[in-house]
Chains A and B, each alone.
Chain A
Amino acid sequence: MIQTLFGTPEPTFLEKMKQAVTRTRENLSEKIDQVVAFTKEIDRNTLDDLEAILISADLGTSTTEQILSKLREKADRKQIKDVAELKRLIKEQILEILNSTPPRAGRPAKGEPEVVMVVGVNGTGKTTTIGKLAHALRSEGKTVLLCAADTFRAAAIEQLEIWGSRTGVEVIKTKPGGDPAAVLFDSLNAAKSRHTDSVIVDTAGRLHTKANLMAELEKMKRTAQRIIPGSPHEVLLVMDATTGQNGLQQARQFTESAGVTGIVLTKLDGTAKGGVVVAISRDLGLPVRYVGVGEKVGDLLPFNAQNFVDSLFSAE
């Protein structure tokens, strides 16, 4: 999967993947074994300890409760034989939630550029993600245009321009404080006339509770539709893995205003697990598309539900 998206990966990249996966696998087994070490039989106490693991990964109380209620029943009826089965059952349930989301929504019409809009609250890593995404698309041999529609935050345009020069991609911009819909208009028209493959739109970080800023996103979406019908084809909500239960609220509001089609879970190289995306998948049916695992240009991976579920239980 990585090869198709990113071309040939750098060795450090592969190493990182391998490392991450083995680390999480080991830790998962270790942690669950720890949990059941003092109780030979799986009982309610074992499940309570597992509840703590899921809660501490930010899955939230109601998702955790849903996952565990089924297991409680089975445990009460002594239907769960051993640790291995318990392990399998929990993972199975989380995977089921993560995999029940719909496949990718829109594709651009032939000859038209694909428009990817990137939205989210402040400080989640939108611009960094865009840099990485541009790199990935370039590695696939595609032509890319970046649209600097974050005209609000200090030096946001400069930040995107640095990513543009790093990845060899042109940035369409306006002056700070300019109308984001106007720069989007220019970018899409430029992309159309140049037959660019993809346009990635950077937007200003905004709290989902600010009605006027959310309305601005709606306006941008309408602008995109007018120039390229059916666009934006993908609206990515960038979410910080450290986000707690407020993530659900974010996803809900951004979906309502901007029509989010997928999530990018960033900063997974820290200790936060980002478990709130399970609740988001469950309640809103939004899939996770990519995960961010570092600050380098190659540190964006396609989301792998299995690895993610494994890492939820890891100690580090």
Chain B
Amino acid sequence: MSLLLREFCVYLMFENLQEKLQRAFKNLRGQGTLTPENIQEAMKEIRMALLEADVNFKVVKELIDHIQEKAVGQEVMTALSPAQQVVKIVHDELVEILGRDTAKLRFGTPPTVVLMAGLQGSGKTTTTGKLAAWLKKGGHRPMLVSVDVYRPAARQQLKVVADAIKANIYEGKVEQADTPTVERLAKEARKEAMNTGCDVLIVDTAGRLHIDDDLMSEMQSLKKLLNPQEILFVADAMTGQDAVRSADDFHKKLSITGVVLTKMDGDARGGAALSIRNVTGQPIKFIGIGEKYDALEPFHPDRIVGRILGMGDVMTLIEHAQEKIDSKKAEEFAKKALAGDGFSLEDFRDQLRQVKKLGSLQSIIKMLPSIGPFSGMQKAADKVDDSQLARVEAIINSMTQKERLHHEIINGSRRKRIARGSGTTVQEVNQLLRQYAQMRKMFKDMGKASFGRKLAGMKFPGI
């Protein structure tokens, strides 16, 4: 993909907080260094952004202190605006906390035991299924067992999941809903895994409150019994301030080895990730991103940072685009659009076709930042109609090549013909031509003015 497009996305990603910070810093011009006084307003903005993302307020306080410490004393550079400087510090700090690398699953002498733990409704059973599917894809032979003898139909649920992904499951018999039954099931399942040559045993447990002493001690005895390599704390990405409490309690009582953050396909900003990581020190290993059993991904810290700061999941969009978009064409388009004569309707149609490869407009918009210049778009996403794209393409298809290359020759009678040919109206043709002219101008201006300058000053690590 074109470097330019990539940089543009990065630029968008940090624009919102940066804009706010720019306002906060407007009085800074002419001052030599960042001081606790002159960055106070900016720290307030960062604090608000983090709190709105559900990062725990104590964690926010710590973070702000840290960020302030790093920022104060830095010289105000001319190339980088102070706002950009601070955003970079915030970004780096958050990535640092979340850990730079994707964490891996640990394996021991077979069967490796993975114990799933978490509050009710966090998504343990679904995640158990997804994890098994992921392991199977990697050549493992997982066995599943549900020791949730309490919730109605919980064990049936895992059975249905296991059947769907064609994984082995130990069902066992349950006569009484109590801890001895839970322990017996776990022991039997491990034996079964060994006998059937399964190398990983995933134990789905009942959801429980961290303050439920009886159920927490049941968890402890399960741990003692199974000696698991991994104890994964499954947490809902929508969790608010309480994430710290529950994660801390689970960690204190069980020493968790990792976290799975579920329901990341929603629009929660996911500040809980920072809180949980900060309080437990354990890595987030996976994120759940959908209801299908393949919707589990390794966790990438730098991506969620943008999301927490309200900057959208632009990295995922970039990756997506890299896979699907013809990079040579994109680069050519960017060159044309930003300089010289601008892009033609023919180029525009090319771009439309490329965009269609990325999926529905809705899904693209959803990956954009939800605040700042895009605040309206998220809402509009549900109303966007992909058939509009098809109509636009039909209009351009009905033009002659000459018309596509020289839009200025399209007069009244040509418009009428194009409308008839594409099954649209003259108004729609007019609208398209108007929008095209505006876009052309916008890109040309961007090529000339501030955008290029802004890009020149932006350098982010790891991008």
Contacts and interface: CB of A to CB of B under 8 A. Distances in A.
A241 B58 CA distance: 20
A19 interface: no
A246 B54 contact: yes
B178 interface: no
Interface string B270-310: 01100000000000000000010000000000000000000
A284 interface: no
A113 interface: no
B160 to A, nearest CB: 4
A123 B266 contact: no
Contacts of A121: 238, 263, 266
B349 interface: no
A240 B120 CA distance: 10
B267 A246 contact: yes
Given A55-B57, A121-B263, A271-B246, A211 B382 contact: yes
Most central of B57, B126, B269 by chain A CB within 10 Å: B57
B118 to A, nearest CB: 10
Contacts of B125: 154
Contacts of B438: none
Contacts of A290: none
A159 B238 contact: no
Interface string A246-288: 1101100000000000000001011111011000000000000
A171 interface: no
Interface in A93-128: 121-125, 127
Contact of A124 (B52, B121, B242, B272): B121
A115 to B, nearest CB: 24
A243 interface: yes
B442 interface: no
A247 B153 contact: no
A125 B121 contact: yes
A209 B267 contact: yes
Contacts of A210: 265
B9 interface: no
B51 interface: yes
B412 to A, nearest CB: 39
Interface string B231-247: 00000101111110110
Given A207-B266, A271-B210, A123 B123 contact: yes
A271 B245 contact: yes
B260 to A, nearest CB: 13
Nearest to B238: A246
Contacts of A243: 236, 238-240
B267 A249 contact: yes
A18 B430 CA distance: 70
Contacts of A246: 54, 238, 266-269
A69 B287 CA distance: 38
B183 to A, nearest CB: 21
B141 interface: no
Given A121-B238, A158-B156, A242 B243 contact: yes
B376 interface: no
A273 B153 contact: no
Contact of B242 (A131, A152, A273): A273
B135 interface: no
11 contacts: A60-B51, A121-B263, A159-B153, A159-B154, A161-B153, A209-B366, A244-B238, A246-B269, A250-B238, A269-B209, A271-B210
